Structure formats: C-alpha cells, structure tokens
Amino acid sequence: MSNREAAARALDRMRVMNAKHERKWGRLLWLLVGPGILVMLGENDAPSMLSYAATGSSFGIGFFIPFVLLTFAMAFVAQEITVRLGATTQAGHAELIYRRFGRFWGNFAMVDLIFTNFLTLMTEFVGIVAGAGYFGIPKWAAVSGSILLISGAYLFRRYSSWEKIVLGFALFNLIFIPVAILAHPNWGSIGSAFLTFQPLPGGFGSHTIMLLLADIGATITPWMLFFQQGAVTDKGLSVQDVKQGRIDTALGSLLAALAAIATIIATAPLYLHHMNASQFGAAQFAQALQPYIGHVGAAMFALGILEAGLVAATTISTSSAYAFGEVSQKAHSLNRPFREAKGFYFILFAVLVVAGAIVVIPGFPLEMVVIIVNVLAVLTMPPAIGFLLILANDKGIMGKHANTLLFNILGISIGIFISLAGVIYALTVIFPGFQL
C-alpha cells in the first residue's frame, strides 16, 4: 500500500471514528454506505432492465413481481456474506480465492470473471446505444461519450469521490418508478401479485424458462461478489462497520427491487395490448411504450436504460480491474494515481474501449446478446456461490465472523436453486419441446 493510499484510508477512518464518537448516526451511515447500493443498482444494468421489460411485455405483472423480490432476497444473502469477507480480511475476493485455493483457482476465477464481465460490458453499451438512439444520437457518439464520462469519474484519484459521483448516477435508476406510475397500473392487481404467485399463462415453456433465468441473472451474478468485496476493501471498512455495510446492502437491494418491479409494471401495457417483446428489438421498448405512457414517459424510460448501462459499465469494468490487481498482486486501488497502478487502470479502460468498439460494428446482434449474457450469468453462479461459502466458513480467515448456520442454509439453498435453474435450462436446449 502506497503512502498516498494509506493516508487516504486513514483520513476516511478518522471521519468514521469522529462520527461514531459524536454519535452522529446519519453522518456515519452516509460515510459508510456506498458499495452495497452501487452493486445492487449496478446490477440493475442495461440487460437486466431490458430483461424486466421483456418480462412485463410478455407476461404482465402476476407471477414475476414476487419472483423478482425473491431473487433480490437471494442477492442480499450473497452480498451480505461478501461484506463480512471484505471487512474481516481487508482483501478482495479474487485475492482470497488465490490464497485459499491456490494459483490455479485464483487464475481461473480471474479469467472467468474478466471473460463474463467483457460479454456483460458489451450489453451495457447495447443499453447505452438503445437509450441514446431514442433521442437520435448515433451509436459511435453514444459509445464515445459514455467512455469519456466514465473516465472522468476516475480523475479525482480518491475512492470516496468516485463512489459519490457514481452513486449519484446510480440513484437515477429509480426513474423507472415514475414511468410505472405514468402507465396507470391497476394497484389492486399489483397488491394481489405481491401476496400470491399467480400462475403463468401457458405454463413453463422454453421461452418462459429463458426469461426466468434472465431475471435471475439480472439480480445475482459473479461480478457483484468481486466488485463489492473490492469496494469494501478500497473504502477501508472494518469489522466494526459490518452492521452499516449490511444496512447499505439491504438498502441497495430494496432500491434495486423497486426499480426492477417498476420496469415490469411500466411495460405491462404491452402485454395487455398483446404486443409481445418479440415484436420489437430492445432499442424499441421506449417507442413501443409511447402510446401508453406518453412522450415524457418514453423519454424517461430511454434515459433509464442509458443510465443503467452507464453505471454498470463503470462498476463492472472496476470489478475486472480489482480482480486483475488482486491475482497479479499489483496495485489495485482507486486511491492511487495512474502512475502507481498502471495495470489496474489499463485493464479498466481496455475492457471499456474494446467492448464499446464491438457494439458499434454494423449488424452486431444486440438483442440476442442481451438475453444470452443474463443466462450465462446464472450458469456461472453456482461455482461462485461454492467459493463464497467455503471462504465464509473458514474460521482461519473469518474468525468469529464466519457464517452462521442460518446463512449456510440460505447460501446452500441459493446454490441449489440456481443450479436447478441451470439444469432446467439445459433440458430446454436439449429437448426444445420441454415444459414443466
């Protein structure tokens, strides 16, 4: 750790200790929140919001509102464990895998993460292009402008400054809530949907299972573990801050769930008017909704998709850089300037530029990639959950902060649930007529 980085973290800790000493609980929460809200709203990325839009337009509000709440509850469990890991060990997720399982698995985790992150980054630029396209902005301008905007947030050379800037953008994800209100939903039906898992029209066919997996992948993915643990470490949270870290993660889960459910509600009019998502590409959701939510609502929807891609591109590229730095044992902190962490910033910017360049290629299959990436996130999650649970139960690493029986039961249940979802998806691929 450089002197600059140590000084930055010491200053942050001094502010935290002063807030605790003076019992300024609101200021304390403000100082300590960030990674949990960022990771949850960051996972409400462009492909996620487009998956929720496809869900609402294909099936309405019935089954999927409580289902999405369930997926965010699962995400909270995984990320709460991640907070404890980061605060207790002061090490990133890839670094712990490297230490606990050896070089092979450390390199495997890094390569797997960077590969899946790169594919996901392409879909973030798909969302940016889709949102900007509604306002007539060409692809190249949308991609170039977003890369410049993301790069600008790193110029402050302080994790805390970067975090607050990205948080401001991330909270814009809540724009989907007023869009849902403009759709004039039946609030009685929404209340009923929250209380009951209503049956799906047509049962669980291959298309329905694909959307189920996409919605799971829209909520809980491997990059979230690496980003939040890296951010917790970079922010300098300690074991005394676990409670606030838990609140931060719970608040992020709640805000992200509200935005996701609002997106389903906003696009439900397309289902009611028999306009299935297959009738138009991802870039046309805002145009398709315009007759039902007006020009202002459609513009807000397009801005929301653009914002979702922008924030997620920032957090996902940062998680790749964290993992690279941890496994290669190079400097990996947003508190360090470029000259002290060249590899960290090179990976960060390289994945952004290459992913953005691919998306502007004429004829690139945008809509197909969006769904596939969320499904891929589900298929790669079971081993990530396995690593997470083994680390969280290692008393040599965690001490008294190791997993409790309750969190082990919840974690194993999540791993089994996601694995079964992957098996069911495989059956639909092998047997196209498969239906539950």
Most confident of 179-183, 277-281, 333-337: 179-183
What's 174's domain CATH number? 1.20.1730.10
Lowest mean pLDDT among 25-39, 167-181, 327-341, 361-375: 361-375
Q: Is residue 436 part of a domain?
A: no
- Expressed as residue numbers, the domain containing 217 is 33-430
Lowest mean pLDDT among 60-69, 122-131, 153-162: 153-162
Confidence class for position 10, pLDDT limits 50, 70, 90 = low
Q: Is residue 263 part of a domain?
A: yes
Most confident of 2-11, 157-166, 203-212: 157-166
Check: CB of residue 392 under 8 Å from CB of residue 82. Answer: no
Per-residue pLDDT tens digits for 380-391: 788 888 889 999
Residue 278: what pLDDT? 45
Q: Name the burial class of residue 320, with classes exposed (0-12), middle (13-18) and buried (19+) by CB atoms within 10 angstroms of its CB.
A: buried
Structural domain count of the chain: 1
Q: HSE of 426 in the Cβ direction (CA atoms, 13 Å)?
A: 8
144 Cβ contact partners less than 8 Å away, ≥ 6 residues apart: 356
4 Cβ contact partners less than 8 Å away, ≥ 6 residues apart: 335, 336, 337, 340
Percent of the chain exceeding pLDDT 70 equals 83
Residue 277: what pLDDT? 45
Q: Is residue 139 part of a domain?
A: yes
Residue 320 has pLDDT above 80, yes or no: yes
State mean pLDDT over 257-284: 72
Residue 284: what pLDDT? 72
Q: Is residue 288 part of a domain?
A: yes
Residue 281: what pLDDT? 45
Residue 330 has pLDDT above 70, yes or no: yes
- Predicted TM-score (pTM) of the model is 0.85
Per-residue pLDDT tens digits for 12-54: 667 767 766 666 667 766 666 788 888 898 888 887 888 888 8
Q: Is residue 27 part of a domain?
A: no
Percent of the chain exceeding pLDDT 90 equals 14
State mean pLDDT over 59-85: 89
Interatomic CA distance for residues 351 and 4, integer angstroms = 27
Q: Is residue 204 part of a domain?
A: yes
Q: Is residue 282 part of a domain?
A: yes
Q: Is residue 15 part of a domain?
A: no
